[in-house]
């Protein structure tokens, strides 16, 4: 049965390379009465195109029979899917080594063609129940906070979230935990509602279906979760409910970006404990430096060495008493990771119309792009790659020197 509602994820989507396999998958879909399920003839490239333009299905069948590098192709499939997608790989190679390598990548099963309806049905049932998962797959959560008010945590959260979703095809959630004065929704032109707060006060409501109903969709891969409490009523967050909510959404999204308050409330502590890394937005002032030192010390003690990225925002913005980069780094006793210039006109215009400024080519976009790649791990990979290249070049230079030395000795020997 085709899925005509693009807001709902497929239960199953499959791409196989031959009509016989396609018919077998169709037969299993009918036999299991799986609604919102489809199969089509296609290769890995078609599977990737689907994942880039559609919600991640619960189960995904991909055929690697024609793939020269099946492990690399499956790694790409995983990069473009939510962590909780169950992948069943179909192929023509009956090799134990390939099976083990695929399982190590986190696929649910590997089936060798020709497919059989009974085995495929069993594989699908076990995958959807989670029986074949080696370990629970979760996305990464990034906790973003300003050292002083107005340093740009919300702007960074929204724009890095947009870049992750639209430039890197990651299913991304922006989660605002400032229940009193959060403004993330305004930058996305989304109305903040209180269903989010209701769930935080009621642990019994935490399930996949209810979480789906409170998510607000910005575009195909970018979602928002937030709400503003009545200032008189306030909000009592049940920490067990909050913990369960984060655990659930980390299974559904590749990246969860938390726009946080500066205070260290119990809710913020709970979010910090679930976070994989942190971004601190700073300004070049003594106040910001003092708060940054305290924040870093706090994270070093409570978060067991998790990665902390420092971003200096509004650099170049004229303000009396501003510190230089070198002076600021001496005060905090560490390097600033990124310097982001202020393009005030573009930033204000983007905020006023509820659109990410990353859509423009302003001076801030390059820095935001670099921060995004750092979150993805591409910066670390680049450093490793550059290090390997440098080592190989050094070895090549040494070999060349030895070779030239030997030639000179040989020439000297010939002359004598």
| pTM (two decimals) | 0.73
User: Does the pLDDT of residue 2 top 80, yes or no?
Assistant: no
Fold topology of 12-128: Rossmann fold (3.40.50)
- Could you give the strand order of the β-sheet that contains 86-91, starting from the edge strand earlier in sequence? 37-41, 12-16, 59-63, 86-91, 109-112
At 398, the pLDDT band (50, 70, 90 cuts) reads low
Confidence of residue 405 (pLDDT cuts 50, 70, 90): low
The two structure tokens encoding residue 86? 């169950």
CATH class of the 140-376 domain in this structure: alpha beta
Coil, strand or helix: which one is 257? strand
HSE-up of residue 399 (Cα within 13 Å, Cβ side): 6
Residue 10, C-beta contacts closer than 8 angstroms, at least 6 positions apart: 3, 36, 37, 38, 54, 55, 57, 58
Query: What mean pLDDT is predicted for residues 66-82?
Result: 88
Q: What is the 3-state secondary structure (H, E, C) of 59-88?
A: EEEEECCCCCCHHHHHHHHHHCCCCCCEEE
Q: How buried is residue 23: exposed, middle or buried, by Cβ count under 10 Å (0-12/13-18/19+)?
A: middle
Distance between CA atoms of residues 313 and 157, nearest Å: 13
**In CATH terms, are 12-128 and 140-376 the same topology?**
yes
Confidence of residue 305 (pLDDT cuts 50, 70, 90): confident
Give the model confidence (pLDDT) of 251-279 as tens digits.
Answer: 889 999 999 988 888 889 999 999 999 99
At 307 the pLDDT is 94
The predicted-structure confidence for 147-190, as pLDDT tens digits, reads as follows 988 878 999 999 999 999 998 889 899 999 988 888 898 888 88
Contacts of residue 324, Cβ cutoff 8 Å, sequence gap at least 6: 284
CA 181 to each of CA 93, 189, 229, 256, 382: distance values in angstroms, whole numbers, following the listed order: 57, 16, 9, 20, 39
* 247: pLDDT strictly greater than 90: no
Q: How many helices (H) and strands (E) does the chain have?
A: 16, 13
Please provide the average confidence, as pLDDT, over all residues in the chain.
82
**Domain range annotation of the chain:** 12-128, 140-376, 387-416
Say how many residues make up the chain: 416
């Amino acid at each position: 049965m085709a899925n005509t509602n693009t807001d709902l994820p497929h239960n199953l989507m499959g791409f196989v390379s031959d009509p016989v396999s396609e018919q077998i998958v169709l037969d299993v879909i009918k036999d299991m009465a799986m609604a919102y399920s489809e199969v089509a003839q296609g290769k890995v490239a078609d599977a990737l195109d689907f994942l880039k333009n559609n919600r991640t299905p619960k189960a995904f069948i991909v055929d690697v029979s024609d793939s020269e590098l099946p492990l690399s192709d499956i790694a790409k499939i995983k990069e473009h899917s939510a962590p909780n997608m169950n992948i069943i790989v179909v192929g023509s190679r009956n090799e134990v080594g390939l099976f083990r390598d695929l399982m190590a990548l986190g696929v649910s099963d590997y089936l060798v063609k020709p497919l059989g309806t009974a085995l495929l049905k069993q594989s699908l049932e076990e995958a959807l129940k989670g029986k074949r998962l080696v370990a629970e797959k979760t996305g990464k959560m990034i906790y973003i906070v300003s050292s002083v008010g107005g340093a740009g945590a919300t702007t960074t959260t929204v724009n890095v979230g947009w870049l992750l979703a639209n430039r890197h095809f990651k299913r991304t959630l922006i989660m605002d935990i400032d229940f009193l004065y959060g403004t993330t929704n305004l930058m996305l032109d989304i109305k903040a509602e209180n269903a989010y707060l209701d769930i935080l006060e009621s642990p019994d409501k935490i399930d996949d279906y209810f979480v789906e109903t409170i998510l607000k969709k910005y575009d195909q891969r970018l979602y928002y979760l937030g709400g503003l409490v009545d200032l008189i009523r306030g909000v009592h967050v049940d920490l067990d409910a909050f913990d369960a909510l984060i655990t659930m959404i980390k299974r559904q999204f590749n990246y969860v970006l938390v726009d946080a308050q500066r205070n260290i409330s119990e809710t913020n502590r709970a979010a910090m404990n679930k976070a994989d890394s942190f971004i601190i937005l700073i300004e070049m002032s003594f106040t910001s430096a003092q708060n940054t030192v305290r924040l870093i010390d706090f994270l070093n003690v409570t978060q067991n060495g998790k990665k902390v990225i420092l971003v200096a925002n509004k650099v170049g913005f004229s303000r009396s008493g501003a510190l230089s980069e070198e002076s600021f780094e001496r005060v905090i006793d560490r390097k600033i990771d990124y310097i982001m210039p202020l393009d005030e006109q573009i930033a204000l215009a983007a905020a006023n119309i509820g659109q990410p400024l990353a859509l423009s080519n302003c001076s801030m976009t390059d820095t935001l792009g670099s921060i995004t790649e750092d979150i993805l791990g591409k910066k670390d990979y680049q450093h490793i790659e550059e290090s390997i290249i440098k080592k190989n070049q050094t070895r090549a230079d040494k070999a060349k020197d030895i070779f030239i030395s030997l030639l000179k000795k040989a020439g000297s020997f010939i002359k004598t």
